[in-house]
Structure 1
């Protein structure tokens, strides 16, 4: 299996969302999207994703949306949020291909050592990667 070309969040997208969401941002924040993502704001992220056509913003939002799966797992994230996320990932698979690949944890055979979302991401990867 070939690893897709990596894609990274952009500083402009981070600064834009930090301002719009009133989130903290400073130059020393590493992995901003993981530091600030909150399950309580999942509906804001999904609404913003649907209202923008900026791929850099959508890419960043998807990183944040998926990150909420950790905190939201006990709130039935997989039942309440995943169907909408999966639909967006299918629709925009090429934009999020590397993100899906990352969350698949293909470098780890023990699924218990992976993310909560890994099994669902692997199923999506297996379905979508051959189509593109």
Structure 2
């Protein structure tokens, strides 16, 4: 028994990816950097509103780092534990037995999700234009 499949479209798509890979990687890094900056700023704004007088320096501890990625981009966003009050990040974000979770970072990420997805989709749409 043999199975025959027409792979012409798949081959054409693979060629499009080869031709546009470098451009897509550059655009992906830019989209991730912009999204990380937006999430960081949103997280800082949320934290400023929720941290109150108990953690006034916490919002300034929130930063982001671009991480090396061989084929695209990645970022790590959150409180820097080496900055003042950055070590409070887990407690403030997720809460404890005595403190409710603030979810400042989760809300900032959710607020950025649609725009980020749209930018990623735009990169995908451009891939077919060579």
TM bin, normalised by shorter chain, reads under 0.3
Which structure has the larger Rg over C-alpha atoms? 2
TM normalised by structure 2 equals 0.28
TM normalised by structure 1 equals 0.27
Structure ranking higher on relative contact order (CA contacts 8 Å, 6+ apart): 2
Q: Which has the higher strand share?
A: 2
